[in-house]
Structure 1
Amino acid sequence: MVNHVVGPMNLGTLIGGPREHVVTIAELDDTAAAELGPLLRDTARVVETLCRPEQTYVCMWSHGPDTRKHLHIAVQPVTAEVRARYGGLRSEQLQARMLADGDEPDITEVEQFCERARELFRAITNSSAETRS
């Protein structure tokens, strides 16, 4: 499983997904399925720590233009500022509007967020490894 940043969503949205071509959760092999829970938990911890959202959405996407494409799981921080910017929308309506509007965060802010997120992921990973030993 890997994580990456996505646009055009709000700053702090991270996407996780399998390295292999998989289009549904049902297709995950045992190794990928075992990695998914900890990956989503750690990703949500990073987003919660760095963005301090009112809520963190976690949702699965797999759509291409006409068929399933590749499994992606979005971890999106939603703050009062984000909701206000989009007229108070929530959930899938908020995400649909954001994607339709195509607004992307400032690249410098994205780079700064990514560096802080990498540091926090390292700290979380190191902490988890120490706990297991």
Structure 2
Amino acid sequence: MNPGTLIVGPREHVVAIAEPDDTAAAELGPLLRDTARVVEPLCRPEQTYVRMWSHGRDMRKHLHIAVQPVTAEVRARYGGPRSEQLQARMLADGDEPDITEVEQFRGRARDLFQAITDSSTEDRS
């Protein structure tokens, strides 16, 4: 996946979107929204994809939800496809993002995520 992609996953071992209990399910929507609120201003994508992955080599493994900001530059690098065709091409190419770029993004994302969640907590008070 491209730099800026964040992965959301349950703490408990869950392999399907139908498995989380009511509490975990109620937390998932706001968490995905807040994750998109982090990647949108940091990456300025033309679209942010949200995709569920839960496969291993031969069976379901663990639920992961990718929140992937996709820019025109990312699409152009892979020949222009969108959606699952883009993700399939990225995975097939096996490109690894630059670790320095990833760590810089991680720091900015962590700070923004903290600000967003602090704001959400204040709004509920």
Q: Please state which band the TM-score falls in when normalised by the shorter chain.
A: over 0.9
Q: Using the alignment, how far apart are the partners of 1:31 and 1:114 within structure 2?
A: 27
Aligned positions of 1:58-77 closer than 5 A = 58-77=50-69
SS of 1:72 mapped into structure 2? strand
- Structure 1 residue runs of 5 or longer lacking an equivalent are 1-8
- 1:19 matched to 2:19? The reply is no
Deviation at 1:62, TM superposition (A): 0.5
- 1:48 matched to 2:30? The reply is no
- Structure 2 residue runs of 5 or longer lacking an equivalent are none
**Corresponding residue for residue 125 of structure 1:** 117
Q: Using the alignment, how far apart are the partners of 2:96 and 2:56 within structure 1?
A: 20
SS of 1:15 mapped into structure 2? strand
Q: Using the alignment, how far apart are the partners of 1:25 and 1:32 within structure 2?
A: 11
Deviation at 1:109, TM superposition (A): 0.6
Q: Using the alignment, how far apart are the partners of 1:86 and 1:67 within structure 2?
A: 28
**Corresponding residue for residue 80 of structure 2:** 88
Deviations 1:10-42 (A, max 9, x none): 010001010111011110011110110011000
Q: Using the alignment, how far apart are the partners of 2:80 and 2:14 within structure 1?
A: 34
Structure 2-normalised TM-score?
0.98
Q: Using the alignment, how far apart are the partners of 1:91 and 1:22 within structure 2?
A: 25
Aligned positions of 1:90-109 closer than 5 A = 90-109=82-101
**Corresponding residue for residue 29 of structure 2:** 37
SS of 1:19 mapped into structure 2? coil
SS of 1:32 mapped into structure 2? helix
- 1:110 matched to 2:102? The reply is yes
* Percentage of pairs with the same residue: 87
Instruction: Return the letter of the residue paired with 2:8.
Output: G
Q: Using the alignment, how far apart are the partners of 1:45 and 1:129 within structure 2?
A: 15
Structure 1-normalised TM-score?
0.92
SS of 1:71 mapped into structure 2? strand
